[in-house]
Amino acid sequence: MAAISLRDVVKRYGRGKQELQVIHGVNAEITDREFVVIVGPSGCGKSTLLRMVAGLEEITSGEIWIGDRVVNQLEPAERDIAMVFQNYALYPHMSVFDNMAYGLKIKKVPVDEIKMRVDKAAGILELGGLLERKPGQLSGGQRQRVAMGRAIVRQPQVFLFDEPLSNLDAKLRAQTRIEIQKLHRELGITALFVTHDQVEAMTLAERMIVMNAGRMEQFGTPEEVYHRPASTFVASFIGSPPMNLLKDAPGARAGTIMGIRPEHLDIRSSGWELCVETVELLGAERLIYGRLGDERIIVRSEENQPAPKVNAIIHVAPREDRLHWFDAGTGKRI
């Protein structure tokens, strides 16, 4: 395996007045065997960044290192990477075994070694009984495991995942996340994983890069990103439901935005007066949506607490040690 280094990486399309910059000087050091997730909304540049690491997009300036090599000018096949795509990209006329073995056959790897590698990967991914089937005979989750198996048998330095779970339903996504975590522990892979789903990012990442409009807003562990967001964008994007961001809350400082997570607002006999607009029951918890003056607030409460009525006035109080402060002009954390 190998480390990945992104050094002032920039991507522009077009020239002159038609020039469009989509990646703005990204710097990140991904250590050997680390699992890093690149997360952000559609159009933020996360897939473009991954494709530049893969060699599928040229970089405009900066350097990308994989291990001890600058790979800017290397073709994808020369970078010693394997990529798992959103759409699986399996050959429909080939068996599972042949799909997984195809890249090794092209490289003229000996037949015995091909069988050994495919059998080992199939064992890890629980595909042993499916090797003779065609992709059309598999479920979406099984096809995604075949795509991962095809990457594993190549034994690359780096694994790249481009939104590989997007085509799966919610239950399969959860199962496949567990399988990917298990795969990472067993193989010790260096991995970059792109997703727009912040739940996937939080559950999979050892560290995560949060992208916004081509810029890296924050690079840190899920705990750091959740508990100390670097900006209002990160605070509003990471977390479900997102952090409350208030300009006119009681006690707010001039020129600042106050942030408070829904779970850090307590329902009390006194405090901020909140007019309840709607209540959502989510199993063991409730989300209470209301208004504090002109600002909308979300409060998370336990299921065993009394549910307020719509249009009722309740009182909530923020936990003082859980307040976040951001500059109103820049959005950056104070």
pLDDT in tens, 68-123: 999 999 999 899 999 988 887 899 999 999 999 998 999 899 999 999 999 988 98
Q: Is residue 17 scored above 80 in pLDDT?
A: yes
Looking at residue 252, its pLDDT comes to 74
Residue 205, number of CB atoms within 10 A of its CB: 22
To the nearest whole number, what is the mean pLDDT of the chain? 92
Residue 196, number of CB atoms within 10 A of its CB: 19
Looking at residue 88, its pLDDT comes to 79
Instruction: Mention every residue, 6+ apart, whose C-beta is less than 8 A from residue 315.
Output: 267, 268, 269, 270, 271, 272, 273, 274
Pick from 31-35, 142-146, 180-184 the range whose average pLDDT is largest: 31-35
Is residue 57 very low, low, confident or very high in pLDDT (cuts 50, 70, 90)?
Answer: very high
Of 165, 167, 230, 232, the C-alpha closest to 199 is 165
Q: What sections of the chain are H helices per DSSP?
A: 46-54, 96-106, 111-124, 140-153, 170-187, 198-204, 222-227, 232-237
Looking at residue 248, its pLDDT comes to 81
Looking at residue 208, its pLDDT comes to 97
Q: What letter does residue 44 receive in the DSSP assignment? A: S
Asked whether the beta carbons of 188 and 34 are under 8 A apart, the reply is no
Rounded (5°) CA angle 82-85-88: 110
Inter-CA distances, 210 with 49, 142, 215, 256, 285, Å: 12, 29, 8, 22, 28
For residue 76, what are its two tokens? 């994808």
Domains of the chain by residue range: 4-234, 259-327
Comparing 167-176, 268-277, 305-314, the range with the smallest average pLDDT is 167-176
Looking at residue 155, its pLDDT comes to 87
Q: Is residue 44 scored above 70 in pLDDT?
A: yes
The CATH H-level superfamily of 259-327 is: Nucleic acid-binding proteins (2.40.50.140)
Of 38, 29, 34, the C-alpha closest to 194 is 38
- What is the pLDDT averaged over residues 158-170? 87
What is the architecture, at CATH level 2, of domain 4-234? 3-Layer(aba) Sandwich (3.40)
Is residue 1 very low, low, confident or very high in pLDDT (cuts 50, 70, 90)?
Answer: low
- What is the pLDDT averaged over residues 152-181? 87
Residue 248, number of CB atoms within 10 A of its CB: 11
Residue 174: burial class (beta carbons within 10 Å; 0-12, 13-18, 19+): middle
- Which letter, b or e, does each residue of 129-142 get, where b requires 16 or more Cβ atoms within 10 Å of its Cβ? ebbeebbeebeebb
Cα separation, 231 vs 271, in Å, equals 27
Task: For the chain, give the percent of residues with pLDDT over 90.
Answer: 71
